[in-house]
Amino acid sequence: MKCRVLECGECSITQGYKSSHKANDMVAIKSKKKTIDNVVAHTDGKVIAIATGHKNKKGSTGIDSYGNYVQIQHSNGYTTLYAHLDSVYVKVGQTVKKGQKIGVMGNTGNSYGAHLHFEVRKTSAYSSLIDPTPYINSNLPNIEKTVTYRVGNGHWYATVSNGAIAGNQKTRIDRLQIKTKNAGKIYYKAHIKGNKWLPEVTKWDDTSNGYAGIYNNSIDGIAIKSEKGKLSYRVKTKKSGWLPYVSGYNVNDYKNGYAGNLGEEITAIQIKIN
Ligand SMILES: [Zn+2]
């Protein structure tokens, strides 16, 4: 099966989750053969605990049973733990990226053959262990930021997310809606051609302040910021095509700028978040 905690990306589960073993044990699969592999971080995070110097010790209990291990804390508060490692490549306090090598599978601690013991916990505590099976190749809950948006001209065009193009790229737009997930509050506003910036919008609904824009008025500038999450966005205008991405606006401050050339009608937008 696909498995994002091993460098090769393929694993076989040798012992599943049960009340007496709240983890997944796995070996790597390379060229259809069971083998060892480098262990990589499941998700971006910070190393909060490691153990090194352990040898194989069958029958050991408690923390010693893990042998050499790494525990990483993620932005949603969850932790992942990787045990029985042969070598550990990271230090406590170190920031790691998803897919970064953190150690090599091994046979240290209470282990009967080289394998990775992979745990997911809702906090750092042992008592918060949950079934890791759904996450072996999937994101942890509430961790991936999403930006969803649509534009329109008298009616709405298709809703898109995370960098896709909204708008038909030919027709000027007169309305805009944006929302985010796992990125806190959203703030956005539109500039009307030949006129002014409209009031800031912070939601997405059908009321008059649930979107930015005025019916039948061309939008020629947009500004967006989110409470968490870094947004970058660009617009396409009838006159100039795609303009450069703008990004990094402080949540309290629009004065860094906006996307658009005032006077040029916008026909499409793209918004990314990370
Ligand atoms: Zn295990």
**Last residue of one domain, picked from the residues 102, 135, 168:** 135
Q: pLDDT tier at 252 (50, 70, 90 boundaries)? A: low
Judge whether residue 50 has pLDDT over 80: yes
| Predicted local confidence at residue 259, as pLDDT | 93
Mean of the per-residue pLDDT values of the chain: 94
Spacing, Cα 15 to ligand 1 middle (Å) = 7
Task: Report long-range pairs for 21-24 (Cβ below 8 Å, ≥24 apart).
Answer: 22/119, 22/129, 22/130, 22/131, 23/83, 23/117, 23/118, 23/119, 23/129, 23/132, 24/117, 24/118, 24/132, 24/133, 24/136
Same domain, yes or no, for 240 and 183? yes
- Report the percent of the chain where pLDDT is more than 70: 97
Q: Residue 207 pLDDT more than 90?
A: no
Answer for the pair 226, 250: CB distance below 8 angstroms, yes or no: no
pLDDT at 198: 93
Does 105 share its domain with 15?
Answer: yes
Same domain, 33 and 52: yes
How many angstroms separate the alpha carbon of residue 132 from the centre of ligand 1?
11
- Ligand 1 centroid, distance to 144 Cα (angstroms): 28
Rounded to the nearest angstrom, the distance between the alpha carbon of 116 and the centre of ligand 1 is: 7
Residue 244: domain span? 146-273
CA of 114 to the centre of ligand 1 (A): 11
- Between the CA of 60 and the centroid of ligand 1 the distance, in Å, is 13
Query: Of 80, 115, 135, which residue is a domain's last?
Result: 135
Gap from CA of 52 to ligand 1 centroid (Å): 18
| Dihedral sign (CA 249, 251, 257, 260) | positive
Question: What does the DSSP assignment read for 138-183?
Answer: SPPTT-S-EEEEEEESSSB---EETT-EES-SSSPP-EEEEEEESS
In the predicted structure, residue 255 carries a pLDDT above the cut 60: no
- Per-residue pLDDT, 257: 77
Lowest model confidence (mean pLDDT) among 48-52, 115-119, 247-251: 247-251
Residue where a domain terminates, one of 70, 104, 135: 135
Distance 184 CA to ligand 1 centre (A): 37
Query: pLDDT at position 44, please?
Result: 93
Q: Is residue 119 located within the same domain as residue 228?
A: no
Which letter does DSSP use for residue 193 in this model? T
- Expressed in angstroms and rounded, the spacing between residue 21 Cα and the centre of ligand 1 is 6
Asked if residues 84 and 103 have their Cβ atoms less than 8 Å apart, the reply is: no
Instruction: Give mean pLDDT, residues 86-98.
Output: 97
- Assess if residue 165 is contained within a domain: yes
Distance from the alpha carbon of residue 16 to the mean position of ligand 1, in angstroms: 8
What average pLDDT score do residues 29-48 get? 96
pLDDT of residue 206: 85
What was the pLDDT predicted at 250? Answer: 57
129 & 150 share domain = no
Going from the Cα of 94 to the center of ligand 1, the distance in angstroms, rounded, reads 25
pLDDT tens-digit profile of 168-186?
999 999 999 999 988 889 9
pLDDT of the residue at 75: 86
pLDDT at residue 251 greater than cutoff 60: no
Domain tally, the chain: 2
pLDDT tens, residue by residue, 211-230: 999 999 999 999 998 888 88
106 in the same domain as 160:
no
Residue 232 lies in a domain: yes
- Please determine, for residue 142, whether its predicted confidence score (pLDDT) is greater than 90: no
Q: What pLDDT is stored for residue 123 in this prediction? A: 93
What confidence category does residue 208 fall into, taking pLDDT thresholds of 50, 70 and 90? confident
What's the CA-to-centroid distance between 34 and ligand 1, angstroms?
Answer: 17
